[in-house]
């Protein structure tokens, strides 16, 4: 995947959170996460991937960082036709910002 395509997905997810009142910080270099999202006393760390592109190797840094910070790890998956699904990795359930 190209850098531009990945960055574009990060901006789409960033805008999804911002429209719902979250403060979103894009992590430069995407290590260990792509986005840090804050709203009131809630915080989530987000990793953005296309389709089935997420492996456990990709998710481990997200899970480790979320565990250390005691926040929710969220995977944003871009599917066909531009649909983006947010998944809480701890419960493997849909996450709604």
How far apart, in Å, are the Cα atoms of 11 and each of 57, 64, 68?
A: 23, 24, 25
Supply the range of the domain harboring residue 75: 3-94
Residue 29 Ramachandran class (φ > 0 left, ψ -120 to 50 alpha, else beta): left
Q: Which of 16, 14, 20 is nearest to 34 (CA)?
A: 14
pLDDT of residue 1: 53
Q: Which token pair is 37? A: 């999202």
pLDDT digits (tens, 9 = 90+) for 48-75: 988 766 788 888 999 999 999 999 999 9
The CATH number linked to 86 is 3.40.1350.10
- Three-state DSSP class for 94? strand
Residue 61 has what DSSP assignment?
H
Q: Count up the domains in the chain and report the number.
A: 1
Asked if residue 34 lies in contact with residue 7, where contact means CB atoms within 8 angstroms, the answer is no
pLDDT digits (tens, 9 = 90+) for 9-41: 999 999 999 999 999 999 877 678 999 999 999
């Amino acid at each position: 995947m190209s850098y531009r395509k990945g960055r574009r997905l990060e901006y789409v997810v960033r805008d999804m959170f911002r429209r719902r009142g979250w403060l979103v910080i894009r992590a430069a270099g995407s290590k260990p996460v792509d986005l840090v999202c804050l709203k009131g006393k809630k915080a989530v760390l987000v990793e953005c991937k296309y389709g089935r592109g997420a492996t456990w190797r990709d998710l481990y840094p997200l899970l480790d960082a979320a565990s250390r910070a005691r926040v929710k790890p969220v995977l944003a998956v871009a599917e066909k036709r531009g649909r983006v699904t947010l998944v809480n990795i701890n419960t493997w359930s849909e996450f709604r910002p």
